[in-house]
Amino acid sequence: MGKHSVTSGRIWRTIVVSGAMLATPLAACGGGDKHAQTTPEPATEDKAAADKAAADKAAADQAAADKAAADQKVIDDKAAADKAAADQAAADQAAADQKAADDAAAAKKRPRGAGDRPRGRGFVLA
């Protein structure tokens, strides 16, 4: 009986959360009277602070790009190694299959006659 209360509580929370998710777009629509457009105030930042922020952002972007390039190189190297291993395995399998086919062809002998022409069984019903 203890699981029943846990299960029903979980179901109730799921319903409440999904209902809240459905109601969010309706609440966000707004509607009704429109607010007057305001013009943005010009920023009064310090020139040195703006230059420092731009330099920091550029350095952070460069570091992120370098890290992404290094990560991509690792992924590419791993993919190349995996492809080389798969190609080697396929070549080994093809060689083994060819050897097995050659062995089977060499082992197959005709029961009578050794020539290239097919021959009959050698008995006649008369």
How far separated are the first and last CA of the chain, in Å rounded? 90
In a domain, 94, yes or no: yes
CA distances from 98 to 85, 90, 104, 105, 111 (A): 20, 12, 10, 10, 25
Residue 77 maps to a domain: yes
What pLDDT is attached to residue 80? Answer: 95
Instruction: Supply angle C-alpha 80, 84, 88, rounded to 5.
Output: 170
Q: Which residues of 50-61 are buried (b: 16+ CB within 10 A; e: fewer)?
A: eeeeeeeeeeee
**Dist. CA 95–CA 112, nearest whole Å:** 32
What count of other Cβ atoms lies within 10 Å of the Cβ of residue 106?
Answer: 8
The residue with greater pLDDT, 93 or 106, is 93
More confident residue, 57 or 13: 57
Q: What is the pLDDT of residues 60-99, one digit of tens each?
A: 999 999 999 999 999 999 999 999 999 999 999 999 999 9
pLDDT tens-digit readout, 18-59 = 565 565 555 555 555 566 777 776 666 678 888 888 999 999
34 within some domain: no
Does residue 102 sit within a domain? yes
Q: pTM of the predicted model, to two decimals?
A: 0.37
Mean pLDDT of 117-124: 63
**Which amino acid is located at 57 in the chain?**
K
**Domain residue limits at 101:** 65-107
SS3 of residue 82 by DSSP: helix
Q: What's the number of domains the chain is made of?
A: 1
8 A C-beta contact, residue 116 and residue 110: no
95 part of a folded domain:
yes
